[in-house]
Amino acid sequence: MAVVPTSLGGGAVSSHMTHFSGLRRSFLKLDSSNSDSTHSLFRDVNSHLRLVSSNKGCRGVVTMSGSGKFFVGGNWKCNGTGDSISKLVSDLNSAILESDVDVVVAPPFVYIDQVKNSLSDRIEIAAQNCWTGKGGAFTGEISVEQLKDLGCKWVVLGHSERRHIIGEDDQFIGKKAAYALSEGLGVIACIGELLEEREAGKTFDVCFQQLKAFADAVPSWDKVVIAYEPVWAIGTGKVATPEQAQEVHVAVRDWLNKNVSADVSSKTRIIYGGSVNGGNCAELAKQEDIDGFLVGGASLKGPEFATIINSVTSKKVPA
């Protein structure tokens, strides 16, 4: 994504009026002596930021650019015991959830069967990882076929902890995604930049490179949900502002439009992850291109996870 120039629509802006956000230049102050140029500039900047999604109307009574249901996933990571997970499942089973949301939880592998056998069918089960192909002599790995046998419908792939702690690269992740999709599992495809990459202005470069690895490998996007998770916001208590998250989501949708197809751009849900909780989910959900959430720590608390799921109501506008 090119940096927004300091002169748009013929209106020049002096260099001291710009601020680099780590994504592109954003405008902090404008010379009020030329209001016509100022208004024109904001219109032009807005057209750059809105990109493709500005051409799409609201779907029913929900303000979303993607054409699928709001999607909320809970990534339980390497947390829980049999007892604590039983309590969490009980809390989720008793929660009142909005009907127009797809909800998925990803327990640790050893508890998938327990969760599948006790959790309401309202919530689908995801795995946190899978192997690149059929099972065999791959110690410690889990095959897609085994996940399907347990009743999993989704798998989380490309999470930053797999990328930056385990060392999985883009092509390896793409290969996993391709095989999972070919066998009928849905894929929650994670992308996101490190703090130093954001500060260096490389957010879009990193996200687009990770997207390309998925695009080069997957046979279809019909069962792919993209999760934008800035690494600096995962488990840190820091969260991207709604505007920061929206800007990346718009850029991702535009990348899909230009590099895959307009249809995929329109249909693919792009969800946000990174310290999402019951207190910030409503404001994030109001953003047009945020189609849901991938939730970490807060998904381990049943009532709070229910609040996040029900934040879909923040998207609803009068018909």
Could you tell me the CATH number of the domain that includes residue 180? Answer: 3.20.20.70
Same domain, 240 and 285: yes
Q: Of residues 124 and 240, which shows the higher confidence score? A: 124
Task: Read off the pLDDT of residues 1-18 as tens digits, 9 standing for 90 and up.
Answer: 333 333 333 333 333 332
| Domain of 49, in residue numbers | 7-55
Q: How far apart are CA 289 and CA 215, in angstroms?
A: 20
The answer as to whether 63 is a domain residue is no
C-alpha torsion angle, residues 252, 253, 256, 261 (rounded to 10): 180
Task: Read off the pLDDT of residues 69-120 as tens digits, 9 standing for 90 and up.
Answer: 999 999 999 999 999 999 999 999 999 999 999 999 999 999 999 999 999 9
Same domain, 101 and 178: yes
Q: How far apart are CA 111 and CA 80, in angstroms?
A: 9
Number of domains present in the structure of the chain: 2
Active site residue 229: yes
Same domain, 225 and 309: yes
Q: How far apart are CA 3 and CA 22, in angstroms?
A: 10
Same domain, 177 and 203: yes
Which of 229, 247, 288, 304 is an active site residue?
A: 229
The answer as to whether 62 is a domain residue is no
The stretches of the chain forming alpha helices (DSSP H) are 35-50, 82-94, 112-118, 144-150, 160-161, 170-182, 195-199, 203-217, 242-259, 262-267, 281-285, 302-309
pLDDT band at 129 (very low <50, low <70, confident <90, very high): very high
The answer as to whether 1 is a domain residue is no
Q: In this predicted structure, what is the pLDDT of residue 317?
A: 64
Q: How far apart are CA 106 and CA 127, in angstroms?
A: 5
The answer as to whether 167 is a domain residue is yes
Same domain, 139 and 34: no
Same domain, 47 and 111: no
Same domain, 175 and 295: yes
The answer as to whether 198 is a domain residue is yes
Active site residue 16: no
Terminal Cα distance for the chain, rounded: 34
Same domain, 77 and 213: yes
Residues across the chain? 319
- CA 19 centroid distance within chain: 26
The answer as to whether 196 is a domain residue is yes
Q: What is the mean pLDDT of residues 286-309?
A: 97
The answer as to whether 138 is a domain residue is yes
Same domain, 142 and 271: yes
Same domain, 95 and 12: no
Token readout for 123 is 């919530």
Residue 126 φ/ψ, nearest 5 degrees? -120, 155
Q: How far apart are CA 217 and CA 310, in angstroms?
A: 34
Task: Read off the pLDDT of residues 17-71 as tens digits, 9 standing for 90 and up.
Answer: 323 234 433 323 333 334 444 343 333 333 333 333 333 433 444 556 665 799 9
Q: How far apart are CA 170 and CA 285, in angstroms?
A: 28
Same domain, 231 and 273: yes
Burial of 165 (0-12, 13-18, 19+ CB in 10 A): exposed
Q: Of residues 310 and 56, which shows the higher confidence score? A: 310
Q: In this predicted structure, what is the pLDDT of residue 178?
A: 98
Same domain, 31 and 163: no
The answer as to whether 2 is a domain residue is no
